[in-house]
Amino acid sequence: MARKIRLGWFSFSCCEDNTVLFAEILNDHFFMVQEKFDIIHAKVLQNVNKWEEMDVAFVEGAIANKEQEETLKKIRGLSKTVVAIGSCACTGMPSASRNNFDENTIHEIRFIKEKFNMLDKVHPLKDLVKVDMEVPGCPMDEAKFLEALQAIIKMYGDQ
C-alpha cells in the first residue's frame, strides 16, 4: 500500500468558506480522503493537531497580524507544497478591505489595530512566503480544488 500523504489544513483571516466547501466536497470524496491522506493538522476537524513535516498545506485566509505571519512561515517551513485556497489567501480580498479605507475610517479602527497587534496592511500569502499552487474563487473553485488535490496525489501518493 502506498504511504499516506501528509496533509495540513489552515485558516487565517477569512470567512472559512473554503473549509465549509471542503466539508461539502467530502460528501462525495470522504472515503478517498480518509484512505489517501494522513491529516496532520486541521483544527476544524480533529482535536490532536501536530506541528510536523507535511507534504501539502492547504491555507485559506489573508494575513492580518504578526502572529499569523509567523504561523504562516512555520507552515511554509514544514510543508513541501503550499496551496493557497480562496480569494483571501490568493489576493487578500475581501479580508483586506481595510487596506483601502479612507483616512477617517483608518483613524476609527486604529485603536483596535494597535490593541490586537494587527499589521499595517492585510496581505495575501504570496506577499510573505512562496506559494506553490493557487485555487482562486470566493469560495474557492470546486473543480480547480479537486484538480489540485489530484495533482497532490500524483506528486506524493506513489512515493
Partner 1 sequence: MHGAHDSENLELGLEGLSKVEGHVDLEVKVTKGKVEYAKLKIPEAKRFYTQAVRGKPMTAIAQLVSRICGTCSMSHIFGCTKSIEDAVGLVPSEQTMKQRRLSMWAHLIRDHPLHLYFFVLPDMFDKGSVFDFTSPEEKKIIATALEIKAAGNNLSKMVAGRSIHAPWPVLGGFTQIPDKAKYPNIVHDLEHAREHSLELLDVFYDCPWKFENKTTYVGMVGPNFDYMSGDLLSSDGLKIPEKDFGQYAQRIWRDYSTASAFLLQGKDYMVGSLPRLNLGKKFLHKQTQKDCAKQLGRFPSKNVYDNNLAQAIETIDSINQSIDLLESTDFKPEKPVQPARKDGAGFAVVEAPRGVLYYNVNIRDGKVQNMSVAIPTGQNQVRIEKDLAELVQQQVDAGKDKDYIVHEMEKLVRAYDPCLSCATHFLKVKWKK
Interacting residues with partner 1 (CB under 8 A): 11, 13-21, 23-24, 26-28, 30-31, 33-34, 39, 42-49, 64-65, 68, 94-95, 97-98, 101, 105, 108-109, 111-112, 116, 118, 122, 138-139
Q: How far is the CB of 82 from partner 1 (least distance, A)?
A: 20
Say how far apart CA 142 and CA 4 lie, in whole Å.
23
26 CB burial (10 A radius; 0-12, 13-18, 19+)? middle
* Closer CB to partner 1, 38 or 53, in the complex: 38
Q: Can you state the angle between helices 17-36 and 142-156, rounded to 10 degrees?
A: 30
Q: How far is the CB of 87 from partner 1 (least distance, A)?
A: 9
Q: What is the largest CA-CA distance in the chain?
A: 61
Say how far apart CA 141 and CA 120 lie, in whole Å.
29
* Closer CB to partner 1, 24 or 147, in the complex: 24
Q: How far is the CB of 64 from partner 1 (least distance, A)?
A: 4
